[in-house]
Amino acid sequence: MTAPQTCQNYINGEWLQAKSAATLESRNPADNRQIVATFPRSDAVDVDKAVAAARIAYKTWRLVPAPARAELVFRLGELLRDRKEELAQLMSQEMGKPITEARGDVQEGIDCAFYNAGEGRRLFGQTTPSEMPNKFAMTVRMPVGVCALITPWNFPIAIPCWKALPALVCGNTIILKPAEDTPACATFLVQLMHEAGFPPGVVNLVHGIGAEVGAALVEHPGIDLVSFTGSSETGAYVGATCGRTHKRVCLEMGGKNAQIVMDDADLELALEGALWGAFGTTGQRCTATSRLILHHDIKEKFTSMLLERTAALQIGAGNNPSTEIGPLINSKQLQRVSHYLEIARAEGVKVLIGGEIAKDGELQHGYFFQPTILNNVTPQMRIATEEIFGPVVALIEVDSFADAIAILNDTPYGLSSSIYTRDVNRAFQAMRDIEAGITYINGPTIGAEVHLPFGGVKQTGNGHREAGTTVLDVFTEWKTVYVDFSGSLQRAQIDNRT
Ligand code: UN1
């Protein structure tokens, strides 16, 4: 067991404790006796300081040429690549991910850095003909200002990178407020940003509790934009507050993602997809598969295949190389998942496998939950409509393709979706008719790539897309520029055409 790390805030290029000197701890969710890090319990005073630093830095950072800004992001990508293993090990301890998934999370950050570094030499605007003679019209991207980035614990490196790196290339300054469960991962990332050479005040990190630091950022008049990934409840508060205080806001919230398996599907392939989609990251992805919509003709066979494989999954600590299912992040999540199982049982659902806290031997000190498959689930049950964020998947039977799509869509969320079919016509129909930001054909609901748009419809988001080139529309404002080189006043909105 290694000694706990001491994490600090990073404001204006300096490492600082909270003004109040209060601290909190993060613990290994696989063994809650192990403190991974202590970190500042910051408050509005620390937020004020970070906002002031970011506002001053913004004045000059916005004037640095975008390719030069992007070079620092490229440098960060190199540093992340050099330190990948160390960071993945830390993540596995602090967040509980199996080590291969932790490496994948860091790799997503590296990919994001190299992808966004290239954007520094694009950031394209457009030229458009003017309706008047001797007049030129164009659009250019302008930074938004000071951005508050509020990030979750389930992708402690990838998600901060998704937000921070395009924000910086676009010329914004940032204040990162990472989840209180993964402060050491965030601190490691910001240490590498410091090493990459971002000028003081361009990158700031303020640790603490969401309801304190997050709220202070969201309310702060010096913040121009809030980018938030997390629960729908918190997202509703963030969205409403940004509306009231006139801030730009990008929200990525819950999902209730389904995988359809049609009667013509490759069942082995669909099985691999279902296992990975439902139980990868212990179901703690907003893209996780929490409903399996199975065609009547294959349901029995597919269910028995699924049960056999689920029974063999290895539960354990993230740093144990044979672990397939790591712990849930904390006791609150464990209680939440257990509570959903109570609800399911009360709704008359049959638990085919799992359904309990896993506490044998070493597991007793962690927040482990057995991978769980629920049968006899009907689309209206709470277990089929509410996000659980754990290793729990509900089986729903359908008789037709049309019913499968209708049930998949019958949720307030719309993030990811999947269909396994060999019928190309059904595949294209599904692509058209599924109400979700992401649809996988013959692939699981998880695994989005950094250079493609990421986000959802309905209550999952607020119309924005992160990642890909679409994230530029979050972190820049369009400016329309007219250049009149006629030398005379050309009056618009006067109809002198005959
Ligand atoms: C999330 O769970 O918030 O597509 C993001 C995926 C990952 C990102 C998940 N690349 O599953």
Q: Does ligand 1 have an atom closer than 6 angstroms to the CB of 205? A: no
d(CA 453, CA 468): 5
Q: Does ligand 1 have an atom closer than 6 angstroms to the CB of 460? A: no
d(CA 156, CA 144): 25
Nearest in space to 227 (alpha carbons), one of 216, 240, 218, 236 = 218
Write down the residue that tokens 């409509």 correspond to: 385
Rounded to the nearest angstrom, the distance between the alpha carbon of 200 and the centre of ligand 1 is 31
Predicted complex: ipTM over 0.90: yes
How much is the pLDDT for 492?
A: 85
d(CA 19, CA 413): 40
Q: Phi then psi for 474, rounded to 5 degrees?
A: -80, -45
Beta carbons of 37 and 184 less than 8 angstroms apart? yes
Q: Does ligand 1 have an atom closer than 6 angstroms to the CB of 286? A: yes
Rounded to the nearest angstrom, the distance between the alpha carbon of 279 and the centre of ligand 1 is 13
What does CATH list as the number for 257-441?
3.40.309.10
d(CA 291, CA 298): 16
For residue 451, count other CB atoms closer than 10 A to its CB: 15
CA distances to 149, 177, 202 from 173, in Å: 10, 13, 5
**Rg (the chain; Cα; Å):** 24
Tell which atom from ligand 1 comes closest to the C-alpha of 438.
4
Give the residue extent of every domain in the chain: 5-253+461-480, 257-441
What does CATH list as the number for 5-253+461-480?
3.40.605.10
DSSP character for 369?
B
Tell which atom from ligand 1 comes closest to the C-alpha of 284.
2
**Residue 219 falls in the annotated catalytic set:** no
Residue 483, Ramachandran bin (φ over 0: left; ψ between -120 and 50: alpha; else beta): beta
Amino acid 130 reads S
Tell which atom from ligand 1 comes closest to the C-alpha of 454.
4
How much is the pLDDT for 494?
A: 80
Q: Does ligand 1 have an atom closer than 6 angstroms to the CB of 453? A: no
Q: Does ligand 1 have an atom closer than 6 angstroms to the CB of 418? A: no
Q: Does ligand 1 have an atom closer than 6 angstroms to the CB of 155? A: yes
Beta carbons of 265 and 420 less than 8 angstroms apart? yes
Q: What is the pLDDT along the chain (498 residues), one digit of tens a residue?
A: 578 899 999 999 999 999 999 999 999 999 999 999 999 999 999 999 999 999 999 999 999 999 999 999 999 999 999 999 999 999 999 999 999 999 999 999 999 999 999 999 999 999 999 999 999 999 999 999 999 999 999 999 999 999 999 999 999 999 999 999 999 999 999 999 999 999 999 999 999 999 999 999 999 999 999 999 999 999 999 999 999 999 999 999 999 999 999 999 999 999 999 999 999 999 999 999 999 999 999 999 999 999 999 999 999 999 899 999 999 999 999 999 999 999 999 999 999 999 999 999 999 999 999 999 999 999 999 999 999 999 999 999 999 999 999 999 999 999 999 999 999 999 999 999 999 999 999 999 999 999 999 999 999 999 999 998 999 999 999 999 999 999 999 988 887 666
CA distances to 27, 28, 31, 173, 254 from 366, in Å: 10, 8, 5, 38, 25
Beta carbons of 396 and 294 less than 8 angstroms apart? yes
How much is the pLDDT for 497?
A: 66
d(CA 207, CA 46): 9
Q: Which segments within 162-288 are labelled E, that is strand? A: 173-177, 203-205, 225-229, 248-252, 257-261
End-to-end CA distance of the chain: 84
Q: Which residues, in sequence order, are bridge partners of residue 314? A: none
Beta carbons of 9 and 40 less than 8 angstroms apart? yes
DSSP character for 314?
P
Amino acid 480 reads T
Of 71, 94, 108, 252, which is the active-site residue? 252
d(CA 217, CA 215): 5
Rounded to the nearest angstrom, the distance between the alpha carbon of 446 and the centre of ligand 1 is 6
Tell which atom from ligand 1 comes closest to the C-alpha of 450.
10
Q: Parallel, antiparallel, or unpaired: how do β-strands 392-398 and 372-375 relate?
A: parallel
Tell which atom from ligand 1 comes closest to the C-alpha of 229.
3
CA-nearest residue for atom 6, ligand 1, is: 447
d(CA 471, CA 115): 12
Beta carbons of 31 and 365 less than 8 angstroms apart? yes
Rounded to the nearest angstrom, the distance between the alpha carbon of 159 and the centre of ligand 1 is 8
Residues whose CB falls within 8 Å of the CB of residue 300, separated by 6 or more in sequence, listed in order:
none
d(CA 293, CA 8): 46
CA distances to 41, 109, 178 from 214, in Å: 12, 23, 9
Q: Does ligand 1 have an atom closer than 6 angstroms to the CB of 282? A: no
Rounded to the nearest angstrom, the distance between the alpha carbon of 17 and the centre of ligand 1 is 31
Q: Does ligand 1 have an atom closer than 6 angstroms to the CB of 426? A: no
Residues whose CB falls within 8 Å of the CB of residue 333, separated by 6 or more in sequence, listed in order:
284, 367, 389, 390
Tokens describing residue 347:
């709704």
How much is the pLDDT for 148?
A: 98
Pocket test for ligand 1, best of 287, 388, 416, 454 (most atoms within 8 A of CB): 287
Q: Does ligand 1 have an atom closer than 6 angstroms to the CB of 448? A: yes
Q: Does ligand 1 have an atom closer than 6 angstroms to the CB of 328? A: no
For residue 491, count other CB atoms closer than 10 A to its CB: 8
Residues whose CB falls within 8 Å of the CB of residue 358, separated by 6 or more in sequence, listed in order:
315, 368, 369, 370
Rounded to the nearest angstrom, the distance between the alpha carbon of 447 and the centre of ligand 1 is 6
How many residues are present in the chain? 498
SS (H, E, C) 439-490: EEECCCCCCCCCCCCECCEECCECCCCECCHHHHHHHEEEEEEEEECCCCCC
Q: Phi then psi for 319, rounded to 5 degrees?
A: -85, 0
Q: Does ligand 1 have an atom closer than 6 angstroms to the CB of 26? A: no
Rounded to the nearest angstrom, the distance between the alpha carbon of 456 and the centre of ligand 1 is 12
Rounded to the nearest angstrom, the distance between the alpha carbon of 450 and the centre of ligand 1 is 10
Question: What is the pTM assigned to this prediction?
Answer: 0.96
Torsion of CA 36, 37, 42, 48, to 10 degrees: -110
